[in-house]
Structure 1
Amino acid sequence: MVRRQSLMNIPPKLKDADDILNILGDPGIFQTIQFTLLMLQFVPIAMNDLMPIFYNIRPLGIQIPYYGISDINNNSFVTADDNSSMGYVYVNLSAACNAIHSGLPSSNFSYVYRNRQWSVIGEMDLLCDKAWLANLATTVYFLGQIIGSPIFGWTSDKYGRRKTLILSNIAYSLLSIGVIFSRDIISFSVLRFCVGLARQGMHSAFFVLMMEWIQSHRRGPWAAIAQFPFSAGVLLLALFGYLLQNWHHMQIVLAVSNFTAIGFYWFAPESLKWLILHHRATEAQDICKHIAHFNNVPISRSDLKDIEILAKNLHSGGQPVQSHSFIDCFRTPYVRIFTVLCCYIWFATFFTYFAFSFLMTNMVGDVYTNLAISGCLELIPRALAVISAQKITNRAMLVTYFFWAGIFALITGAIPAGAKLDANSIAKTAMALLGRMAIVGCFPIVSVVSSELFPTAIRNSGFGLCSIAMKAGAMVAPQLALLTLNTSFTGIPFYIIGAVSVLGSVMTIILPETTDMKLMSTIAEAEEFGTRELMAFYKRKSVAFLTVMKPVKKMSLRERAKSIFEKIEKF
């Protein structure tokens, strides 16, 4: 058996938290349990993000007691659905507003839903001139996430990932329970805003903590695997929606869906990289001894001593750790480039995903079936991401997924809109589904690339900025549907999607490659990395451009095209 090498015998340039993780197991049982619990956070996150689908289910109509019609001066809204023999008159939704505008008090009618459905719209009378308030509550929820992104990014970098994770999970559970008891749109919107804040705290802390506990060579495929619970959350929401149908009962499920967070008390220790960066060697040593004992692996005194040395020497002279904020993501040139590029690819990913989701038409089935189909289709690109993560670099996968999502969007826009279920509509829907599936493959990669490009000192702050860009994309995407109202050309939204996605492919080419790269700790390391990688990229680009543009004599058109293609491929 090869004797395990102590950190003291490893060259100084390799002394890092990743080296310590290798000693504790690759991976150990503790890390496997921790990873499982952390990735399950995607289940309540997915359910909460998509819950507005069920909050905003519109009723089929209203029913009015037969005697109540005499209280209205103009009852022309009454349709052929007259059940006066049963003591009430049914009014369909299109005519319900006429009834309400005619002076029908809310105490004189009740909402009619399909089967046992009951939504916030019926609960809070959000019909007619109040219908926009239901969508406002959804916007407010995403606004809470946007505001929470820099806040929790800063607290996680300042006070630690573990504290932010546990406190945000407690707040999320309590606030989700509070939503159950809201009976008016004001209290509902305020609580949903606060849930959005807590949800973003969960996401900002758990994903970064998970990435910092995974060895560099496993980070890509494990991050892809971690995305599967999101699709599981989509499928579970569809299942519980079908079984329960009442939004109150579904909200109870939503509140208890986060019960696995209880395990964080034992299996979510603070990040070793964060502790070492903040010179908290004693805590790092205690955590390492606990995990080594749990995994039944030896850890020597020299290894523990190296942790202390590493914490003291990470900054020259062992100076106190400088406090950082999201402003530091823009102070230095290369970190600023990383920030801008990462924010755009996050924006493009979620803009494309939600835009495809909102614009796809001609999908048969009810709301539960459609949501279940969407969740099943997401499993395909996620599985491909796991397989390709072991064979293809992060940058190559992102370029490919963005490119094909954009191409499918452009093809979708070029197909003329036809009648329902005709050949054109089927083809248009199929292309949109393929584009949506392609962009789902970007989800795990953009997270991994961002966690590797931002150093530990500002990693959560960087993630917070990326989350703002992500939510901005999710909020802008529904507005594309408005572009088709004033024109008969329905392809414009898909052309915009295609342009955004293809540009994302181009922007990704500029990003430095991060596959199997150890996580950087300080801004200085990130600047050094950017100087080395981006300058090399610009040099290759200049050489390739000059080589391609250099006049070539005595070559046929085919030979010249082949030469240019070879240069570009090499570049």
Structure 2
Amino acid sequence: MVLDETHYCSVAWVKNHTFNLSAAEQLTLSVPLDAAGNPESCLMFRPPPDNASLEDILSHRFNETQPCDAGWDYPENRAPSLKNEFNLVCDQKHLTDTSQSVFMAGLLIGAFIFGPLCDWIGRKATILVQLLLFAIFGLAPAFVPSFELYMVLRFAVATAVAGFTFSNVTLLTEWVGPSWRTLSVVLGQCSFSAGQMALAGLAYGIRNWRLFQIVGTAPVLLLFFYFWVLPESARWLLTRGRVEEAKKLIQKVAAVNKRKLSPELLSQLVPEEKGPSGNALDLFRHPKLRKMTLVLFAVWFVDSLGYFGLGLKVGDFGLDIYLTQLIFGAVEIPARCSSIFMMQWLGRKWSQMGTLLLGGIMCIAIIFVPADLPVVVTVLAVVGKFATAAAFTISYVYSAELFPTIIRQTGMGLVGIFSRIGGILTPLVILLGDYQEAVPMIIYGTLPIVAGLLCILLPETWGQPLKDTIEDLEQGPHPRSLKSAPSENDKEAPRGSSCTEVASVSSTQF
């Protein structure tokens, strides 16, 4: 929507038909040349006096320059884009990256708003509200008369996107059993990657930004049938004491899955009782928990910084931007799926460290590759994208296993905030490239390496039972041999926990 496009100052007087000047002559008379001998994009000659003769004008007697004061001309005559319609060039160029930061800020606010709302009015109602907001605020930008209003609507749609992601994963994990939960969450993230691939094809076929906005958002309208088919979370209903509604839903699920459900099993459904809980200050009161929390803040911050940093620079690697976007989306699917096997083979700690280090090293390596080798640059960027996508997926699992049960939701919320802050700062880091081209990639490279090395301070959670209380964490790990390493089901069910507590731990983990 904001691709690079040739532009020059629009100068009215050279377009006077009585002068009978060609387009090349108009450009020569109105725009100075830069040091490389190319026409300036953001400067123009001062208009000559009204009594100046054509000979004086042609001899360049009037060669004082000034910034563009009457807009810009776009000689390539491309389809309408945000860039050429709202003149996002020269002193307005920064608005492109600013709008991305505004979007990231909307993701942060959405997490604040829809997290509590999801617990208050339920998973289904929240998802339906988010879909409605997504449709309204997603379609509205196609009709805006100004870029400022466009940014406001982008902020609004980001709040709905963030909330939808939260509510969607919550509902998914509360319905899917422990043995399939990890796979189902990863597959859900893979669908996000598939959407990125589809976006590349859509953008390639539709160059008009307003039509692109409409076509890219319209499919969400098809999801309104969720009103009839989407089930509420039975677990949430139990926390609200709505036992009969939960029983009906579970009976319906059993019928769809062709499973028998005995009345004795249904009779065991009782309202969930809330156990002891912690607060955000507890994360910093206890030495081990404090150290772990600070390291996770750094990990989630660079997860987001590296992931979105490579994504937003997709047009700077030298190859066709549509092809690069397609590859970026495609590589995420094996990256997210491979994270499951990495965590099983290497453990959580070394998987997190390795993916962060690999992503950082790739970003640093890009700096030393000549610009005339775009294939090499793109290959390094793809490997970096693979590593950052895998690191993000691992962070969800690893962080949830590190935080004790009574403070897991609070801890995940706080690390999520640092992730959003990283996303907000990512476009602003890109702006530093205007002063020194290599600076953004240096930042995207060094910070993940530092965060990866900090992972040495974290404990390993693979083969260990989940910690229920802060005291369990502070007392240290309970060694287990590989032979006695628990299965996925066992790791989500600490000894001594009731069925309700186990369910709470499982659902909160993701």
TM-score (norm: length of structure 1):
0.66
> Residues 362 and 252 (structure 1 numbering): CA distance in 2 closer, same or farther, change over 3 Å?
closer
> Residues 178 and 397 (structure 1 numbering): CA distance in 2 closer, same or farther, change over 3 Å?
same
The residue that corresponds to 1:59 in the other structure is: 5
Give the count of matched residue pairs: 453
The residue that corresponds to 1:288 in the other structure is: 250
AA aligned opposite 1:382: R
Contact 2:360–2:444 (CA under 8 A) maintained in structure 1: no
The residue that corresponds to 2:212 in the other structure is: 250
The residue that corresponds to 1:555 in the other structure is: none
Residues 180-189 or 427-436, more deviating: 427-436
Per-residue CA distance 1:514-545 (angstroms, 9 max, x = gap) = 67978xxxxxxx652x53355324999xxxxx
> Residues 213 and 507 (structure 1 numbering): CA distance in 2 closer, same or farther, change over 3 Å?
farther
Deviation at 1:369, TM superposition (A): 2.3
Q: Pick from 365, 372, 377: which aligns with 1:420?
A: 372
Deviation at 1:173, TM superposition (A): 0.7
The residue that corresponds to 1:439 in the other structure is: 388
Q: For residues 164-243 of structure 1, what are the structure 2 equivalents within 5 Å?
A: 164-243=126-205
Residues 509-518 or 190-199, more deviating: 509-518
**Are 1:535 and 2:475 counterparts?**
yes
**Are 1:300 and 2:259 counterparts?**
no
> Residues 120 and 419 (structure 1 numbering): CA distance in 2 closer, same or farther, change over 3 Å?
closer
AA aligned opposite 1:375: G
Q: Distance in 2 between matches of 1:72 and 1:514?
A: 80
Contact 1:394–1:515 (CA under 8 A) maintained in structure 2: no
The residue that corresponds to 2:448 in the other structure is: 500
> Residues 247 and 157 (structure 1 numbering): CA distance in 2 closer, same or farther, change over 3 Å?
same
The residue that corresponds to 1:148 in the other structure is: 110
Q: Distance in 2 between matches of 1:102 and 1:492?
A: 28
Contact 2:127–2:168 (CA under 8 A) maintained in structure 1: yes
AA aligned opposite 2:249: I
Alignment root-mean-square deviation, CA: 4.3
Q: Structure 1: 5+ residue runs without aligned partners?
A: 1-53, 84-88, 519-525, 541-571
Contact 1:153–1:463 (CA under 8 A) maintained in structure 2: no
AA aligned opposite 1:403: L
Deviation at 1:463, TM superposition (A): 4.7
SS at match of 1:306: coil
Q: Distance in 2 between matches of 1:447 and 1:170?
A: 28
Contact 1:168–1:198 (CA under 8 A) maintained in structure 2: yes
> Residues 125 and 197 (structure 1 numbering): CA distance in 2 closer, same or farther, change over 3 Å?
same
Deviation at 1:455, TM superposition (A): 7.8
Q: For residues 61-210 of structure 1, what are the structure 2 equivalents within 5 Å?
A: 61=7, 69-70=15-16, 79=24, 94-95=40-41, 97-98=43-44, 105=70, 111-113=74-76, 115=78, 117-210=79-172
SS at match of 2:269: helix
Q: Distance in 1 between matches of 2:388 and 2:289?
A: 26
The residue that corresponds to 1:268 in the other structure is: 230
Q: Distance in 2 between matches of 1:366 and 1:412?
A: 17
The residue that corresponds to 2:322 in the other structure is: 368
**Are 1:403 and 2:361 counterparts?**
no
Quick one: higher RCO (CA 8 Å, sep 6+), 1 or 2? 1
Contact 1:144–1:195 (CA under 8 A) maintained in structure 2: yes
TM-score (norm: length of structure 2):
0.73
Deviation at 1:402, TM superposition (A): 2.2
The residue that corresponds to 2:503 in the other structure is: none
Deviation at 1:134, TM superposition (A): 3.1
Residues 189-198 or 272-281, more deviating: 272-281
Deviation at 1:82, TM superposition (A): 7.0
> Residues 262 and 360 (structure 1 numbering): CA distance in 2 closer, same or farther, change over 3 Å?
closer
Q: Pick from 305, 309, 331: which aligns with 1:377?
A: 331
Q: Distance in 2 between matches of 1:67 and 1:389?
A: 67
AA aligned opposite 2:131: N
Residues 168-177 or 260-269, more deviating: 260-269
Q: Distance in 1 between matches of 2:420 and 2:232?
A: 27
Per-residue CA distance 1:85-136 (angstroms, 9 max, x = gap) = xxxx9x9984465379677645xx7644465x32112222333333333332
Per-residue CA distance 1:413-455 (angstroms, 9 max, x = gap) = 6xx454522xxx7656544432332121123222334455668
Q: Distance in 2 between matches of 1:59 and 1:426?
A: 22
Q: Distance in 1 between matches of 2:386 and 2:14?
A: 51
> Residues 390 and 286 (structure 1 numbering): CA distance in 2 closer, same or farther, change over 3 Å?
farther
Q: Structure 2: 5+ residue runs without aligned partners?
A: 47-65, 481-510
> Residues 236 and 484 (structure 1 numbering): CA distance in 2 closer, same or farther, change over 3 Å?
closer
Residues 530-539 or 179-188, more deviating: 530-539
Contact 1:153–1:462 (CA under 8 A) maintained in structure 2: no
AA aligned opposite 2:44: N
Q: Distance in 1 between matches of 2:120 and 2:260?
A: 32
Q: For residues 560-571 of structure 1, what are the structure 2 equivalents within 5 Å?
A: none
AA aligned opposite 1:282: E
Q: Distance in 1 between matches of 2:281 and 2:259?
A: 39
Deviation at 1:486, TM superposition (A): 6.1
> Residues 535 and 388 (structure 1 numbering): CA distance in 2 closer, same or farther, change over 3 Å?
same
Deviation at 1:315, TM superposition (A): 4.2
Per-residue CA distance 1:124-160 (angstroms, 9 max, x = gap) = 2333333333332222121111122222222223333
> Residues 297 and 345 (structure 1 numbering): CA distance in 2 closer, same or farther, change over 3 Å?
same
SS at match of 1:257: helix
Q: Distance in 2 between matches of 1:277 and 1:389?
A: 32
Contact 2:8–2:40 (CA under 8 A) maintained in structure 1: no
Identity %: 23
Contact 2:237–2:243 (CA under 8 A) maintained in structure 1: yes
